[in-house]
Structure 1
Amino acid sequence: MVLRVTDVPMREPTFLVLTALAATPQHGYAVIEDVAKMTEGRVRLRAGTLYAALDRLRTEGLIEVDREEVVQSRLRRYYRLTGLGERRLADESARLRRQATLADGRLRARHDLGGSLA
């Protein structure tokens, strides 16, 4: 059996970075802030972790540089999803939805059989 990339669950930080970039191109610090906001502060990406992930995602063809600008004498690079990145994020979102639906169904069945949710 050959595993496709879409068969392998995506790690949460990767999913969140791609989700942040799904709305609009963003620079690294904006991605860090967006991920913290999306997760209500539960996930706080560190700069080193983020930039390693961005490099990996670029190598995998899931994101690309949208543009670069100089702000206060520092280069600010904006990233965007590629078509492949969009498809991969959609596939992972659908996989997670299927898993959540399965879990919800089993919990409902347990509750309907007199089980406890506590």
Structure 2
Amino acid sequence: SVIGHIRNGKIRPLAVAAAKRNPQLPNVPTMAEAGVQGVEMSAWYGIYMPASTPKEVIERVNAEVNKVIAMPETQARLSAIGADLTPMTPDAFQAFHTAENKRYGDLIRKKNIKLD
């Protein structure tokens, strides 16, 4: 969301909070490369369906979404705004989602974060 501001010189990035460098910002280090360990966060999106959705429907939607993600125009448009597309199988996304929930849940408990 800030790529445009970086490109036009309004802001200067110090590091990206992702596991790997952003292809749109190849000269900007990750937080770990900049010396700050354990800071990793990125935006991600997924498609959710009711638990009762037949497996065949889930697999079909996944295949169609991955086809769109693979289209050159989709790649170009989303990479222009800094998106790093990572197509996944339904099982891989479930594992990723579960790991993210655990990671943030652990952080919330460790830092005693509460809603006011």
TM-score by length of 1: 0.32
With a CA cutoff of 8 Å and minimum separation of 6, indicate the structure with the bigger relative contact order: 1
TM-score between the two structures when normalised by the length of structure 2: 0.32
Q: Give the number of the structure whose residues are more often strand, by fraction.
A: 1
